[in-house]
Amino acid sequence: MTEIRSAAPSPTRQELRERAPVVVAARRTAIGTRGRSLAEYTVEALAAPVFRALLADVPTTVIADVVLGNCLGPGGNPARVAGLAAGLGVTVPGMTIDRQCGSGLAAVIEAATAIRAGDERPRIAGGVESPSTAPVRSINGVPYSRAPFAPHGFPDPDMVRAAEDLAANRSISRERQDAYAARSHRLAQAAVARGAFDDELVALAPSTSTPPADAHAVATPPSSNLRDDGIGSISPSILARFPALFPGGTLTAGTSSRISDGAAAVLLAPAGTAPGLALLTHATVGCDPALPGLGAAPAIQQALERAGLTTDDIAAFEIVEAFASQTLAVLDELGLSDDDPRVCADGGALALGHPWGASGAVSVVRLFSRLVRSGAPAGTLGIAAASVGGGLGVAAVFEVVR
């Protein structure tokens, strides 16, 4: 029996940087609550304008592939469909991957891995979700809300139930969850006021290549789809009025992210390209499917260990805030405080919304804005991470290069 062992000692940070693919452009749509501001846009109608914006930011005549995360959508390889709709040409292939809430970040990692392996042509990677236009799924004619996250014999809670169970397991109080959700909205409102999202957002407008889902519908004007529609003036006192989602529980609609539409993507280039975010290390892990919200913590820890880093070295964390209890449990595991200014400094999914397949890519776009667009010096570090239904975690460590 062959024993597989590590072939070499862990590389130094300098060695990681020398071969790290670089995010050189990062864009997203606004995020719209299901049935609201982006309700008429299909997945390709959301993703294609983002692709075009990336290529306008960093023109290139070569795109090797498009890798796109998507969970609920229509099938038919949305990455390929969106690439064609964006005008990338018939020779550019596409691959759609499903790692649930980590899909968008997993797509970025997949594209970076291909570049690191030797094919140094640029790639577009990200994620998209349109619950508003997703088809109804059924088995023997009976509709169902989701596929199983785990097989028979394993725990398979839906994410709302799992978040409630995690709060109970880790003794995370209702008051603490309310305070964290209010923080997300407060920071997002401040970010909007100072224009922190302006340079990353892409306006959506109808065109012949990206029609609305209903050809007879009146499309949302571009001026009204440049704002994440879930951000509000939400305080802990307001959140305290929300009823618990389960009898005797602590989770509420206010401490849960909304089902959302949206797309986000980045343009990845070979090592040595600058300015941008170099993807140093990444990790994908499994955890107890009964408590999937914890997955981001061991993924972050592994990604940091592979880079020879600790949380003290990180200037910016973007952790997908699917639920307040989930994010707080991850922060506890990492030894970070509830109000650590490095964590989701402009608000997170609790305020902006959570388009499942796109959210991991939204985290990378947010890191790009917080670090590259803001002028952070070379060497500044950031982490994007997500916990995933079924008991997974995905994380990646990025470094600013100039």
| Residues annotated as catalytic (active site), given as ranges | 101, 354
Count CA atoms within 13 Å of residue 378 on its CB side. Answer: 9
CB 384 within 8 A of CB 360: yes
Q: Which of 239, 278, 204 is nearest to 47 (CA)?
A: 204
3-state secondary structure 179-205: HHHHHHHHHHHHHHHCCCCCCCECCCC
Go through the chain and tell me how many residues it has: 402
Question: Is residue 77 exposed (0-12), middle (13-18) or buried (19+ Cβ within 10 Å)?
Answer: middle
Give the 3-state secondary structure of residue 172.
coil
Residue pointed to by tokens 């130094």:
12
Q: Shortest CA distance to 237 belongs to which of 254, 213, 222?
A: 254
Which of 368, 113, 386 has the alpha carbon at shortest distance from 266?
Answer: 368
Separation of alpha carbons 67 and 108, rounded Å: 7
Instruction: Let me know if 135 is exposed, middle or buried by CB neighbors in 10 A (0-12, 13-18, 19+).
Output: exposed
